[in-house]
Every structure is written in structure tokens, then in C-alpha cells.
């Protein structure tokens, strides 16, 4: 396959591309929301290119890529690979003050990871700078999911929502001791510094220990992280949608095409703001234009089966009404009961020709309607990896929406308690600051920069959070 064919074969999805010279050396690392569109732009006739870029393109003999689920994930990989490989044609940013950094507060007993534009000699460790603050914020969410460090400015007295959705280890209530917390921080530093060989070895040891203790859910999460890190470390692509889908078709007994899979998950944490999610994958890739999120409307208690029935009914009643194409497979995040609830609702809608399966988190067993016993696939199964990837994305999407709704309600109710804060000032504060924690730690001069703010109300905010 020559260079032009390789460019044409790139996917229309996010990732990192690596341009290599004739000796295999990586000359340039770049990120893209759409790999094919971005890389193709280098080779378009008549397109203006700087002299430096022209020289680079003249030396490129091979292009490989690493897939990512989003531009934010690609940003993380890009920065880490640049640190690891030091490609000749990647330009270092000169004006550090203009761009944001990731700051790891190593000067605290339980470090936090946050975004800042000021690099200070304060004992913290800084990574970057990064050119795209929007992508960096999205990347921070991904990193916090992988490495559950605390986010609160002041240590609370009870676990917050982040703990319940497994994005914080809750050192505030001694759920984790300093040594174990430091181990998470050490993993994060290895990741951000591009020291993937060391990190993969460390995670492999932890995975073996988790499996030996029959903590299969933790072992599965560690395995997925190891596979991703291995692909990046070796600058290769492990993604092989023909192998995954063909194996899955054989397992389920699908004779026709298996292009589109739609997956559902329910999130009802703490019994508040119950929500559901649906993600859609086309030929093994997330099709985010087809993602859907739902506020639960008909179930008023913690009833996962009832909520799953509502999701299926709302989704496919509309698909049938609009005479849209049904998916080739429906994936349910859950076991036998969740699958039974979903298939019962599909039957009511007259949808019998679409296979539906469930995947249970505990031991990654598969449930099929026509089989009494769960199907247990080997851990190295490509089909299992595909289903896990889709299931995890549905879970992430549901949790993100759930957290957004809860945090929105918390922000609104908290700010409404402060004298002088009405609807307009509340909106202005949320535009100026990214989170309630930032408002809580803001100085008087920072608050006075908020549109419509006066000194009396700014002091009320400071006094309120001091109490």
C-alpha cells in the first residue's frame, strides 16, 4: 500500500497520526477530529503550505494512526507522544503565558489535577502548554476517569458525587490512605510523561493481583487500559473491525450485516435525576450524531428494569413511527433481568427481528434471550472487547449526563443562598468561572470582574463560603 492509499484508508474519526521518514523515525505527531480529512489536507493540490511543512511532507514515506474516541482523548495522546518521541517537526510553544497547562498539585498531601494559565514555583508539577483549552477541559474529564484524584479545593467531611461514580477515591473520609493515593498519582505522572512501558508493567502486575483475588471488574478495567496504552507505546493500531464483528456474528448467530449497534445504560445514582443513555456504533466506531440521552419520566423510584423499559419504548416507538432503519443489534448494559425488560418492550412494539443481548458488569457474562445460561467468552475474545468498548461508552455517556444535571442543580441551589445573587448574576458567575469550586476559591478582585457584580455582593460570596 503506497502513501496515497494509506491516506485514503484513514477513518473519518478522531485520533493521532504519525508521519514517518524512510528509516521509520517519527517526524511529526498531530491530532485530528477527522483523521482522513486532516491528513488529506497536506496532500491537496493548490493548498498553501509553509516551507517547513513542504519539507516535512517531502520526507514522509509512511503514516500510521492511533484511534481515539474524541478530539480530547487525541489531545492527551498527542502531547504524551511528542514528549516521548521528540519529533523533529513538532514546534515547541514559545509563549507559555498564552496557553493553559495541566497542574498536578504535588505540594498538597492529596494532589489534584487541574487547568491553569499561570506557571508558578509552588512545588506543583506542570504539563503542557496546550493550544486548545476546550479540548483540554474535555481531556481533563477523561484523565479524572482513569485516575480518580480529588477535585475539591477544601477536603469535605463526606464522599461527594465523584466518589459514587468512581471518579474520586475519597481521601476526605479515609476511603483511601496516603500510600495508595500516591500510587494513583504516580500512575498519572507516568502517563503524562509518556513513560508507558513502565506504566504498562505496573498495571499488568495490578491486573494479575486483581484477577487472583477474583476482582474481575477491576481486572477488566485494568486490561482495557493496558491494551490502549500498549497500542500507543508501540505506535500501532490494534483496531480490527472485520475481526471483531465477524466473531460476534458467529457467536450470536447473525446471518446478515452487523454494521450498527445501539447500546443502552441507566444511571440512577443516589435516587436523584435518573437518566438513561443510548450510544450508536457504526462498523465498530462511535457515531456521536446518533447518541441520545433521556431524563426518566415515568419511573419514580429506583427500578432499573422499569427505567430500561422506558428507554426502549421511547427510542424505538419513535423509530417505528418515523419509519427509520432499525439497528442490527441492541446491547443492554445489564444481566438477564435487564435484557428481559428490554425484549418485552421490543415485543410490544412489534420489533422481533432485531437481536438483543445483555452484558453484565460483574464477570462480563453475555445474556441471550434464547439461552437460559450466560455465555462466557474468553478474555482475549475480540467480540468481547467490542461489546465492552460499546458498553463502557454508554456508561460514560449516562454518567456524564447524570453528573451534569446534578452539578447544575447543586450550583444553582448553592448560589441562590447568597444575598445579592439573582438570576442574572448567577448566570454571569457561571460564565466567568468553570465550577462552584472556582467561585468558592475566587478572590475579591476576581469576583469584581464578573459582569454586573458590585463589591457588596462579592464580599457576600466570600463570606458565605468562609462559613
Percent pLDDT > 90 in the chain is 24
- How many other β-carbons are positioned within 10 Å of the β-carbon of residue 174? 7
Structural domains in the chain (count):
4
**What is the greatest pairwise CA distance in the chain?**
71
Residue 263's φ and ψ, nearest 5 degrees, are -125, 145
Angstrom CA distances, 335 to 123, 201, 345, 384, 397, stand at 48, 33, 16, 15, 19
Q: Is residue 204 part of a domain?
A: no
Per-residue burial over 303-328, b if 16 or more Cβ lie within 10 Å, else e, is bbbbbbbbbbbbbbeebeeeeeeebb
pLDDT of residue 316: 95
pLDDT in tens, 165-174: 667 888 888 8
Q: Is residue 230 part of a domain?
A: no
Residue 96's φ and ψ, nearest 5 degrees, are -60, -30
Q: Using pLDDT thresholds of 50, 70 and 90, give the confidence band for residue 428.
A: confident
User: Do 148 and 184 belong together in one domain?
Assistant: yes
Cα(370)–Cα(375) distance, rounded to whole angstroms?
11
Mean of per-residue pLDDT scores for the chain: 82
User: Do 251 and 392 belong together in one domain?
Assistant: yes
pLDDT of residue 129: 79
Is the pLDDT reported for residue 182 higher than 60? Answer: yes
User: Do 342 and 428 belong together in one domain?
Assistant: no
pLDDT of residue 237: 39
pLDDT of residue 313: 95
Q: Using pLDDT thresholds of 50, 70 and 90, give the confidence band for residue 232.
A: low
Pairing of strands 275-282, 292-295: antiparallel
pTM above 0.95, yes or no: no
Domain interval for residue 330: 241-399
User: Do 16 and 45 belong together in one domain?
Assistant: yes
pLDDT of residue 236: 41
Q: For residue 383, what is the domain's CATH number?
A: 3.30.420.340
3-13 mean pLDDT: 85
User: Do 78 and 122 belong together in one domain?
Assistant: no
Q: For residue 48, what is the domain's CATH number?
A: 3.40.1440.10
pLDDT in tens, 315-359: 999 999 999 999 999 999 988 999 999 999 999 999 988 999 999
Cα(101)–Cα(116) distance, rounded to whole angstroms?
5
> Is the pLDDT higher at 129 or at 115?
115
> Is the pLDDT higher at 56 or at 45?
56
Cα(264)–Cα(343) distance, rounded to whole angstroms?
13
User: Do 11 and 110 belong together in one domain?
Assistant: no
Is the pLDDT reported for residue 415 higher than 80? Answer: no
User: Do 187 and 115 belong together in one domain?
Assistant: yes
Contact 277, 267 (CB under 8 A): yes
User: Do 381 and 247 belong together in one domain?
Assistant: yes
pLDDT of residue 310: 93
Angstrom CA distances, 343 to 280, 370, 374, 375, stand at 18, 11, 16, 18
Contact 244, 374 (CB under 8 A): no
- Which of 79-83, 256-260, 397-401, 410-414 has the highest average model confidence (pLDDT)? 256-260
Report the range of poorest mean pLDDT among 71-80, 138-147, 270-279, 298-307: 270-279
190-218 mean pLDDT: 78
User: Do 261 and 135 belong together in one domain?
Assistant: no
Amino acid at each position: 500500500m503506497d502513501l496515497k492509499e494509506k491516506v485514503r484508508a484513514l477513518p473519518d474519526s478522531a485520533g493521532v497520526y504519525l508521519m514517518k521518514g524512510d528509516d521509520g523515525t517519527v517526524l511529526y505527531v498531530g491530532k485530528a477530529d477527522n483523521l482522513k480529512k486532516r491528513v488529506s489536507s497536506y496532500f491537496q493540490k493548490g493548498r498553501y503550505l509553509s516551507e517547513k511543512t513542504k519539507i516535512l511532507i517531502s520526507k514522509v514515506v509512511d503514516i500510521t494512526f492511533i484511534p481515539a474516541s474524541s478530539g480530547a482523548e487525541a489531545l492527551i495522546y498527542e502531547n504524551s507522544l511528542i514528549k516521548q518521541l521528540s519529533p523533529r517537526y513538532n514546534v515547541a510553544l514559545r509563549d507559555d503565558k498564552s496557553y493553559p497547562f495541566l497542574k498536578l498539585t504535588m505540594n498538597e498531601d492529596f494532589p489534584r489535577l487541574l487547568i491553569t494559565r499561570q506557571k508558578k514555583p509552588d512545588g506543583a508539577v506542570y504539563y503542557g502548554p496546550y493550544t486548545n483549552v476546550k479540548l483540554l477541559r474535555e481531556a481533563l474529564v477523561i484523565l479524572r476517569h482513569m485516575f480518580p484524584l480529588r477535585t475539591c479545593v477544601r477536603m469535605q467531611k463526606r464522599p461527594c458525587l465523584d466518589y459514587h461514580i468512581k471518579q474520586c477515591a475519597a481521601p476526605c473520609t479515609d476511603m483511601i490512605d496516603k500510600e495508595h493515593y500516591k500510587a494513583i498519582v504516580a500512575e498519572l505522572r507516568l502517563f503524562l510523561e509518556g513513560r508507558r512501558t513502565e506504566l504498562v508493567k505496573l498495571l499488568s502486575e495490578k491486573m494479575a493481583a486483581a484477577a487472583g483475588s477474583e476482582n474481575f471488574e477491576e481486572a477488566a478495567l485494568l486490561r482495557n487500559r493496558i491494551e490502549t496504552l500498549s497500542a500507543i507505546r508501540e505506535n500501532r493500531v490494534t483496531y480490527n473491525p472485520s475481526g471483531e464483528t465477524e466473531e460476534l456474528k458467529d457467536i450470536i448467530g447473525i446471518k446478515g450485516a452487523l454494521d450498527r449497534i445501539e447500546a443502552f445504560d441507566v444511571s440512577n445514582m443516589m435516587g436523584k435525576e435518573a437518566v438513561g443513555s443510548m450510544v450508536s456504533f457504526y462498523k465498530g466506531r462511535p457515531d456521536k450524531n446518533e447518541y441520545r440521552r433521556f431524563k426518566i419520566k415515568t419511573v419514580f423510584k429506583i427500578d432499573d428494569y422499569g427505567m430500561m423499559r422506558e428507554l426502549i419504548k421511547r427510542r424505538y416507538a419513535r423509530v417505528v413511527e418515523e419509519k427509520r432503519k432499525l439497528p442490527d443489534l441492541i446491547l443492554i448494559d445489564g444481566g438477564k433481568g435487564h435484557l428481559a425488560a428490554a425484549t418485552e418492550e421490543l415485543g410490544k412494539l412489534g420489533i422481533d427481528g432485531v437481536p438483543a443481548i445483555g452484558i453484565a458488569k460483574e464477570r462480563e457474562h453475555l445474556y441471550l434471550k434464547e439461552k437460559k445460561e450466560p455465555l462466557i467468552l474468553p478474555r482475549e475474545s475480540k467480540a468481547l472487547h467490542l461489546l465492552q468498548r460499546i458498553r463502557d461508552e454508554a456508561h460514560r455517556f449516562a454518567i456524564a449526563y447524570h453528573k451534569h444535571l446534578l452539578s447544575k442543580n447543586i450550583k444553582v441551589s448553592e448560589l441562590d443562598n447568597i444575598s445579592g445573587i439573582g438570576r442574572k448574576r448567577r448566570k454571569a458567575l457561571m460564565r466567568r468561572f468553570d465550577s462552584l469550586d472556582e467561585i468558592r476559591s475566587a478572590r475579591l478582585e476576581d469576583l469584581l470582574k464578573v459582569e454586573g457584580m458590585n463589591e457588596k455582593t462579592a464580599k457576600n460570596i466570600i463570606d458565605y463560603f468562609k462559613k
